[in-house]
């Protein structure tokens, strides 16, 4: 009956030393042989465009343009609304929609981008 609870192994010392010598020989052979070089892949014909698109995506140019445009629109609308002597319900509704859309714009802006 085998006892698998012990942390001992019986190994023949000569076989163990022979195995270590063989491992050393194989490591020497691997170190002596130069690694075979794979032929370089030809460059992608549209690599410059791919790099440009990655740059635009990483800088997030378009979302920043859109959020800046929204901020400008919000500022102009708010100053227009505050300058009205007696705003109507429709005018107040327009401003409410513009301000409410800000949450959606910011959510889209904050939720986009490269996922790590």
pLDDT digits (tens, 9 = 90+) for 23-37: 888 888 877 666 667
User: How would residue 114 be classed by pLDDT, with cut points 50, 70 and 90?
Assistant: low
Label residues 88-111 b or e (16+ Cβ within 10 Å = b).
eeeeeeebeebeeeeeebeeeeee
pLDDT digits (tens, 9 = 90+) for 61-110: 888 888 899 999 999 999 999 999 999 999 999 999 999 988 888 888 77
Claim: this prediction has a pTM higher than 0.85: no
Is there a contact between 56 and 62 (Cβ–Cβ < 8 Å)?
yes
d(CA 57, CA 12): 62
Could you give the dihedral angle defined by the CA atoms of residues 104, 105, 106 and 109, in that order, rounded to the nearest 10 degrees?
120
Model confidence at 113: pLDDT above 80? no
Q: Which of 68, 80, 73, 81 is nearest to 98 (CA)?
A: 73
More confident residue, 74 or 7: 74
More confident residue, 20 or 109: 20
């Amino acid at each position: 009956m085998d006892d698998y609870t012990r942390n001992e192994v019986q190994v023949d010392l000569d076989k163990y030393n022979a195995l270590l010598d063989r491992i050393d020989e194989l490591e020497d052979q691997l170190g002596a042989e130069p690694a075979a070089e794979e032929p370089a892949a030809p460059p992608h014909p549209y690599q410059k465009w791919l790099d440009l698109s990655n740059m635009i995506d990483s800088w997030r140019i378009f979302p920043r343009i859109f959020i800046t445009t929204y901020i400008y629109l919000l500022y102009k609308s708010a100053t227009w609304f505050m300058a009205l002597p007696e705003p109507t319900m429709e005018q107040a509704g327009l401003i409410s929609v513009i301000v409410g859309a800000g949450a959606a714009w910011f959510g889209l802006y904050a939720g986009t981008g490269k996922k790590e």
